[in-house]
Amino acid sequence: MSRARADEEEYWHSSKFRAFTFDDEDDELSQLKESKRAVNSLRDIVDDDDDDLERVSWSGEPVGSISWSIKETASSNTSSLEGRDSSLQKGSSSYAALPKQVSSYSLSSLFKGEVPLYSMAKWLCLSLSAISDTGTKNYAPELRRPKAEYKDYSSDWSPKDTVMRMQRGKVCSLERFRSLQDKLVLLDEAVAGHDGNVITAVLIFLKRTLRREILFRELEVRQVALCHLIHFLKETGEQKFLLDLLRLCFFSLSLQLSQYREHLNIQDVEKRREFLKGCIGLPFSAEDTSHIQDHYTLLERQIIIEANDRHLETAGQSEIFRKYPRKASILNMPLVTTLFYSCFYHYTEAEGTFSSPTNLKKTFKIPDKQYVLTALAARAKLRAWDDVDALFTTKNWLGYTKKKAPIGFHRVVEILQRNNAPVQVLQEYVRLVEDVETRLNLATKYKCHDVVIETYRDLKDRIQLTAYKCKVERGSAEEEKINSILSNMVRNAS
């Protein structure tokens, strides 16, 4: 029993055919070699005189049976078509078609004994040799990129088109931009696109292809790109490059500021104006350039106003210049001083003139608070109380008037008191202070008795009214007003 089992195991382990595995060594070439060795051993199989063994096919059916013969014939007729279809569908692993040979031999005729064994073996060996000569080369067509993608590398894209394609995430070669002008146009287009990734990519390209002094010089007038490069160098830790860049920027800024300060040494007004006009083109930041532009415009206005007012003052044609002669020239004065001067001498002029306060406010974008403070100080100095009143009076869409102060009425009271405003004017604006405690403090400080008495009356504070009665003059209108209020309180209480 044990011997029979041992023979059975030896039979199965001694099989010359190997099972399918996924090992690398079981590739097509090794299978072909194995098949060739199997064909070479067909002579021994056929010459075997052992008739007791039953020959079977790979499907398990006896060789030479009717069913086996039908399947073998059908497979020989359709094998070429099926192989062609499978090669088209699985193009990645199919081999080239073998050269067709005219032969009437088949495996079925071989196993049936209709063909001499040596002839059939010779035909199979020649076929296998043809297969082995082809090697393991894959004849499937190579998968290539679409022709449209090659345009990213070979077409002559403009800087604008290149930036647009980079924004869409497509790969574009920047190496074709060789001249300095093309590289700068590319950088300007990237900045105009407002895409930080594209700007950084272009800056990396320029950093690699331009000398430092050229790159730094061009970045001085491109503040957005400069900020992107500084941030990139901080992120990548390129400290030496970053220090060189910051050192050059600081030196350039110091040089620009030194050049701008030179206008202080120019005494001639016309020459100073021309010098400031040239400073506008210096590579300052956008904010600093705006300040220099305002400085130039202000000096230009001052020259016009000074020439006109000097003529009026000399001719004596203006009453305000006769009553309040000018103590100094308006040239080279700050903007606030120029606004005060304009509110003092030209307050009623139309907006279309250069000396009009409204024109200055609009041209230099002066905030409402600054304008109201300056105009209030100028008109209060002239004791033009009607102009002060008009400064704070507004109308709603129904036509009702209302007083409104963007600086707060407590500051209005302080400015009016410094300019010796009458008590009646002070009391009018003290009443407009909303906070009760602040209102009482201001009224007490500036002796606005009516405001104090009215506030205590509204609060129904008899004790404070009685105490304040001692602070007013005896027999005055204020004392009589307090007595009347106290009597009404006692009458109402009873």
| pLDDT tens column, 270-296 | 999 998 888 887 767 778 888 999 999
Residue 350 is encoded by which pair of tokens? 């139309």
Would you say residue 248 has pLDDT above 90? no
Answer whether 163's CB lies under 8 Å from 190's CB: yes
Which stretch of DSSP H or E encloses residue 451?
helix 449-459
Range scoring the smallest mean pLDDT among 119-128, 169-178, 336-345, 354-363: 119-128
Could you tell me if 227 and 300 lie in one domain? no
> Does residue 46 lie in a domain region?
no
DSSP code at position 90? T
Could you tell me if 215 and 170 lie in one domain? yes
> Does residue 53 lie in a domain region?
no
Q: In b/e form, how buried is each residue of 77-105, taking b as 16+ CB within 10 angstroms? A: eeeeeeeeeebeeeeeebbeeeeeeeeeb
Beta-carbon contacts of residue 394 (< 8 Å; ≥ 6 apart): 401, 402, 403, 404
Distance CA 71, CA 107 (A): 12
Answer whether 106's CB lies under 8 Å from 58's CB: no
Distance CA 218, CA 222 (A): 7
pTM as predicted: 0.53
Distance CA 146, CA 252 (A): 50
Could you tell me if 166 and 197 lie in one domain? yes
Would you say residue 245 has pLDDT above 70? yes
Which is nearest to 41 in space by CA: 117, 108, 107?
Answer: 117
Could you tell me if 339 and 386 lie in one domain? no
More confident residue, 145 or 318: 318
Could you tell me if 165 and 256 lie in one domain? yes
Which is nearest to 336 in space by CA: 362, 375, 363, 301?
Answer: 375
Range scoring the smallest mean pLDDT among 56-65, 258-267, 276-285, 317-326: 56-65
Could you tell me if 434 and 338 lie in one domain? no
Query: What value does the mean pLDDT take over residues 411-425?
Result: 92
Picking from 447, 469, 485, the residue at the C-terminal end of a domain is 447
Picking from 264, 283, 303, the residue at the C-terminal end of a domain is 264
Could you tell me if 259 and 170 lie in one domain? yes
User: Cα dist. 424→17, 436, 438, 475 in Å?
Assistant: 124, 19, 18, 20
Answer whether 20's CB lies under 8 Å from 34's CB: no
Residue in the block written with tokens 């993608």 = 149
Could you tell me if 278 and 218 lie in one domain? no
> Does residue 233 lie in a domain region?
yes
Predicted confidence at residue 401, as pLDDT, reads 84
More confident residue, 81 or 190: 190
Residue 44 is encoded by which pair of tokens? 């021994």
> Does residue 59 lie in a domain region?
no
Beta-carbon contacts of residue 370 (< 8 Å; ≥ 6 apart): 336, 339
Predicted confidence at residue 52, as pLDDT, reads 45
Number of domains in the chain: 4
**Domain range for residue 179?**
159-264
Predicted confidence at residue 110, as pLDDT, reads 47
Would you say residue 354 has pLDDT above 60? yes
> Does residue 394 lie in a domain region?
yes
Q: Using alpha carbons only, give the angle 323, 329, 334 rounded to the nearest 5 degrees.
A: 115
Could you tell me if 443 and 453 lie in one domain? no
Task: Work out the pLDDT band at 80, boundaries 50, 70, 90.
Answer: very low
> Does residue 36 lie in a domain region?
no
Residue in the block written with tokens 């930080």 = 196
Distance CA 440, CA 239 (A): 63
> Does residue 47 lie in a domain region?
no
Could you tell me if 200 and 271 lie in one domain? no
Residue 286 is encoded by which pair of tokens? 């956008």
Answer whether 459's CB lies under 8 Å from 465's CB: no
> Does residue 76 lie in a domain region?
no
Could you tell me if 202 and 250 lie in one domain? yes
Picking from 366, 393, 415, the residue at the C-terminal end of a domain is 366
Could you tell me if 273 and 344 lie in one domain? yes
Report how far Cα 32 is from the mean position of its chain's Cα atoms: 63
More confident residue, 216 or 306: 306
Task: Work out the pLDDT band at 137, boundaries 50, 70, 90.
Answer: very low
Query: What value does the mean pLDDT take over residues 384-391?
Result: 92
Would you say residue 161 has pLDDT above 90? no
Predicted confidence at residue 19, as pLDDT, reads 53
Query: What value does the mean pLDDT take over residues 295-318?
Result: 91
Distance CA 339, CA 124 (A): 111
By DSSP bridging, strand 401-403 and strand 393-395 are: antiparallel
Would you say residue 317 has pLDDT above 50? yes
Query: What value does the mean pLDDT take over residues 59-85?
Result: 50
Length, in residues, of the chain: 494
